[in-house]
Amino acid sequence: MLGLTGSIGMGKSTAAASLRRLGIPLFDADRVVHRLFAPSGAAVAAVSAAFPGVETEAGGIDRALLGQRVFADPAALRRLESLLHPMVAVEEERFLGRTRARREPLAVLDIPLLFETGGEHRCDYVLVVSAPALVQRQRVMRRPGMTEIRLAAILQKQIPDHEKRRRADFVVSTGAGRDLTLRRLKAIIRLLLGSRQRRSGRSQRLAYQGRRKR
């Protein structure tokens, strides 16, 4: 199991799309949350009860409005997480069950706050996408409604990029163009698939130029 993560604006979504195109099954935790918040989604009733007034006219959850309610309120954020995390975990286990049934040689868990939530312990390896701080800021500031203050607050809640890179098994830079990023992803996938074929059931650590030192 390969965990995919990275701080805001580091190119994780692009990396995830590339892995999908390479034929690797990928669980997208953020996409699951979108489904849970959609009209008739499994989380709508519970979130609406806990945070009245965040519903959309269509019967879903307004993520932007909900974010305003919980972002600066740690207690409210914990309450929201206590509702969402079990639901996401159920979907993740279903995904893993399907990959095991199909005997997939490799699957990816795409989780934005992988380290922050202790999710790395569910993974055999962790891949962190990273980019220079200037590139990160330029990407994030192009998002609708983003401000310098909001970006600073988001980064404060995330483990710093340098610490994520230190703790990762693989680091892929996304600041030098998509072609180079794709080549590096392909190299990692080949390495992991080749290692799995050679392991004969025994766990082994991989050597790769982009991975962290232990």
Structure tokens at 145: 């409604």
208: exposed, middle or buried (Cβ count in 10 Å: 0-12, 13-18, 19+): middle
Phi, psi of 4 (to 5 degrees): -115, 125
Q: Can you give the C-alpha Rg of the chain in angstroms?
A: 18
Q: Rounded to an integer, what distance in angstroms lies between the CA atom of residue 200 and that of residue 172?
A: 28
Please give the single-letter amino acid code of residue 138.
Q
Instruction: List pLDDT tens digits, range 176-211.
Output: 788 889 999 999 999 998 866 555 444 444 444 444
Instruction: List pLDDT tens digits, range 59-106.
Output: 999 998 998 888 878 899 999 999 999 999 999 999 999 999 999 999
Please give the single-letter amino acid code of residue 144.
P
pLDDT at 96: 95
Q: What is the pTM assigned to this prediction?
A: 0.83
Q: In which residue ranges of the chain is CATH 3.40.50.300 found?
A: 1-25+106-214
Does the pLDDT at position 173 exceed 80?
A: yes
Per CATH, is 1-25+106-214 categorized as 3.40.50.300? yes
